[in-house]
């Protein structure tokens, strides 16, 4: 299945409640697939097409605050159009999952990725997980809900996949059984959700700088805490589904003197290059960054220490 279909399956398996949507290539297939399933009665979720990405993200954040498990997706200019709301959603501590199908920013226009869209949101308060394969798209979305909804985190997550190269590429994907997903990802229990007749404040009014700094630092601490929560969840994920996911993954790093550092779908090309170098007797390896926020700098520094040379391939 394509990366877009894998994303839709992850939302279906996560048993999401609400999907605010706005189409944009190369993401639209995700929403079309979910709409089809809901129309056929295969999902109980409510999907609403709104008038813009800004409205979409506003609806996503506010719905999450009522206790709904929310999924949405966008790409490129769409992410930038709704950019204001990213900071609000994180500040509201709304643990939704947003898939970004990375696409270069105009002008000129392309359907291929350069990561300027997703990396522009790196300090918005969203956790960021970046997928190399269609299988990782599905797995990371399930892990994203598990981490985001953890009471130690309570922050939204962006799961990024490369437009064109992954969104439209068909690869084998193992779909987990729904009962296993339900065991791994129990129903979302919101903290003090909005309810009719109850007094709840989720967005503070205008406040002084020292109080503002307190809230922002609290978000920063929670983002950093997401690393250990992710590792904990990933361990249970492996026990449940038999697949290992790490915030940073190594490829042929044993005795590697020369290391390529990459992320997303182009890591597959990098692995091919490493294999060719190894055949020529060059001790090469590859380090793939899966978790961009929080940035696992200690793990990366430890892994790259004592290497002869490191080459970083950046797509933005």
Q: What's residue 63's pLDDT?
A: 96
Better-scored residue on pLDDT, 316 or 227: 227
- Tokens 């129990």 correspond to what residue? 186
In whole angstroms, give the CA distance from residue 49 to residue 56.
8
Q: Cα–Cα distance between 188 and 210 in angstroms, integer?
A: 32
Q: Is the pLDDT of residue 194 over 80?
A: no
- Residue 246: which pLDDT band, with cuts at 50, 70 and 90? very high
| DSSP states along 124-175 | SS-EEEE-SSHHHHHHHHHHHHHHHTSTTT---EEEEEETTTTTS-B---PP
Fold match, 3-184 / 248-312: yes
| pLDDT at position 283 | 98
Give the domain 3-184 fold.
Answer: Rossmann fold (3.40.50)
Q: What are phi and psi of 275, to 5 degrees?
A: -60, -40
> Which residues are within 8 A (CB) of 131 and not within 5 positions of it... i.e. 6 or more apart?
3, 137, 140, 159, 160, 161, 166, 264, 265, 290
Give mean pLDDT, residues 2-14.
Answer: 98
Percent of the chain predicted with pLDDT > 70:
98
Query: Residues 129, 133, 137, 139: is their CA dihedral positive or negative?
Result: negative
CB within 8 Å of 201: residues ≥ 6 apart: none
At 180, give phi and psi (nearest 5°). -70, -40
Is the domain spanning 248-312 CATH 3.40.50.920? The answer is yes
Higher local confidence (pLDDT), 109 or 142? 142
Q: Is 153 exposed, middle or buried (0-12, 13-18, 19+ CB in 10 A)?
A: buried
Domain boundaries, the chain: 3-184, 248-312
pLDDT at 123: 95
Q: Residue 205: its pLDDT value, please?
A: 73
Distance of CA 19 to the CA centre of its chain: 16
Average pLDDT taken over every residue of the chain:
95
203 — pLDDT class (breaks 50, 70, 90) = low
Asked whether residue 94 carries a pLDDT value surpassing 90, the answer given is yes
């Amino acid at each position: 299945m394509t990366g877009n279909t894998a994303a839709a399956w992850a939302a279906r398996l996560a048993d999401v409640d609400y999907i605010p949507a706005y189409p944009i290539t190369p993401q639209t297939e995700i929403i079309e697939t979910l709409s089809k399933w809901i129309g056929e009665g295969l999902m109980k979720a409510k999907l609403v097409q709104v008038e813009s990405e800004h409205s979409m993200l506003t609806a996503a954040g506010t719905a999450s605050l009522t206790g709904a498990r929310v999924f949405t997706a966008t790409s490129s200019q769409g992410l930038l159009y709704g950019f204001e709301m990213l900071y609000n959603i994180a500040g509201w501590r709304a643990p939704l999952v947003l898939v970004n199908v990375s696409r270069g920013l105009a002008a000129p226009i392309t359907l291929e990725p350069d990561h300027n869209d997703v990396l522009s949101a790196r300090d918005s308060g969203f956790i960021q997980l970046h997928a190399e394969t269609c299988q990782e798209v599905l797995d990371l979305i399930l892990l994203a809900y598990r981490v985001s909804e953890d009471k130690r985190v309570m922050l939204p997550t962006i799961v990024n996949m490369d437009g064109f190269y992954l969104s439209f590429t068909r690869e084998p994907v193992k779909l987990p059984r729904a009962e296993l997903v339900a065991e791994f990802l129990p129903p979302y229990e919101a903290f003090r959700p909005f309810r009719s007749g109850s007094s709840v404040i989720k967005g503070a009014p205008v406040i002084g700088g020292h109080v503002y700094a307190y809230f922002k630092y609290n978000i920063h601490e929670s983002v950093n805490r997401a690393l250990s929560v992710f590792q904990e969840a990933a361990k249970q994920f492996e026990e449940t589904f038999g697949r290992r996911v790490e915030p940073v993954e190594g490829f042929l790093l044993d005795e590697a003197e020369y290391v390529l550092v990459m992320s997303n779908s182009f890591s597959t090309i990098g692995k091919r290059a490493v294999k060719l170098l190894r055949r020529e007797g060059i001790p090469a390896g590859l380090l793939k960054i899966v978790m961009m926020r929080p940035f696992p700098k200690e793990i990366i520094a430890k892994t790259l220490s004592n290497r002869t040379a490191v080459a970083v391939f950046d797509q933005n």
